[in-house]
Structure 1
Amino acid sequence: MSKKIFLVDDDEIHSFILETYTKKVSDGFSVEKFINAEKALNALRAIAETKNEFPNFIFIDLDMPVMNGFEFLEVYDREFYPQFPDVNLYFLSSSMNENEEKTILKSPAVISFINKPISLDTYKKCLEEKIQKMKSVQ
């Protein structure tokens, strides 16, 4: 069973912090970091084509150059969610906008919309429930 987290954020410092959190709170998860959503989508396409296991979690920043989180979600919902509904998708933003949050949360793929910077406790809570389910399946 895959134990993989995708971090999609143009803020490399924030990605580094989440990677460090992952090492503290998860048991053996690998982390793949992407500086833009387009690169993350290309990686997901490659995984889907080769029938490899999809990430368990995707944490993605809403506001990024090249392709923003809304554009990512539109493609994700169309191309990946029907095949991989068990991926936990979290959106992150440093500017909480109620309208953006409502729009993002309309997608069945999205678990939560989280304000940046994300604390260790919040990150841990995001991972805990799914990790417990994964352990019970093993």
Structure 2
Amino acid sequence: MMGNMLKPVNRILLVDDDAVTNMMHRRVIERSGRVKVIDVATDGQEALDLLCGDLAARRPLPELIFLDINMPGMGGFEFLEHYANLAIDPDSQLIIVMLSTSLLAADHARAEADPNVHSFCDKPLRVEKLLELVEEFQNRMKRKTPVS
């Protein structure tokens, strides 16, 4: 086994209204072998409801959220506005990645300006990007964990 083998993260949340996109992204994530649980929400409100349920039940939040920009109902940017008001521990290592097919520079700039957004990626999600994000999450956790 390789010494730098990545451990799986516990949970990822996919937020996208397109069933085919969710299926493709789920397949990429499953094939990576680096994620234990994949939750899916079809709009921002459903994602907020999941997170609020986790907070109320004191369950661990997902480590990674892949968030589409354009969805009917509550879209990605509106989700971020509400997310900012949730009672989430500021030391949380949660990573939010905006996924989009949008070529608009304004969308990229808006995502990059949001302090809760880690990065902006083009769809579809690729395994290389997923592994990079899993490694980033694990590095954040190492920095957070005190060395004895």
Q: In percent, how many aligned pairs have the same letter?
A: 26
The aligned counterpart of 1:20 is 27
Residue 3 (1) aligns with residue 10 (2): yes
TM-score, normalised to structure 1's length? 0.86
Residues 80 and 93 of structure 1: CA distance in aligned 2, closer, same or farther (over 3 Å): farther
Distance 1:34 1:78, change over 3 A: same
Q: Report what 1:64 is aligned to.
A: 71
Which structure dedicates a bigger proportion of its chain to helix? 1
Using a 3 Å threshold, how does the CA distance of structure 1 residues 83 and 50 change in structure 2: closer, same or farther? farther
- In 1, the alpha carbon distance for the partners of 2:29 and 2:138 equals 12
Q: State the alpha-carbon separation in 2 of the partners of residues 87 and 73 from structure 1.
A: 13
The alpha-carbon deviation at position 95 of structure 1 amounts to 1.4
- Residues 41-52 of structure 1 mapped to structure 2, 5 A cutoff: 41-52=48-59
Structure 1 counterpart SS, 2:27: helix
Q: CA 1:118 to 1:28, structure 2 compared with 1: closer, same or farther past 3 Å? A: closer
Determine which of 86, 106, 110 is the counterpart of 2:93.
86
One-letter amino acid of the counterpart of residue 85, structure 2 = R
- Equivalent residues of 1:77, 1:107 under 8 A apart: no
**4+ residue runs of structure 1 moved beyond 3 angstroms?**
80-85, 131-137
**Structure 1, unpaired ranges of 5+:** none
- Residue 81 of structure 1 deviates from its aligned partner by 4.8
Q: Secondary structure at the match of 1:89?
A: strand
2:45 to 38, 42, 45: 38
Q: Count the aligned residue pairs.
A: 136
Judged with a 3 Å threshold, the aligned counterparts in structure 2 of structure 1 residues 84 and 63 are, in CA distance, closer, same or farther, namely: farther
Say which one has the larger Rg.
Answer: 2
* Structure 2 residues not aligned, in runs of 5+: 1-8
Instruction: Tell me the alpha carbon deviations over residues 33-77 of structure 1, each in whole angstroms, 9 at most, x when there is no partner.
Output: 111111110110011111110100000100000111110000011
Q: 1:119 to 1:79 in 2, by over 3 A?
A: same
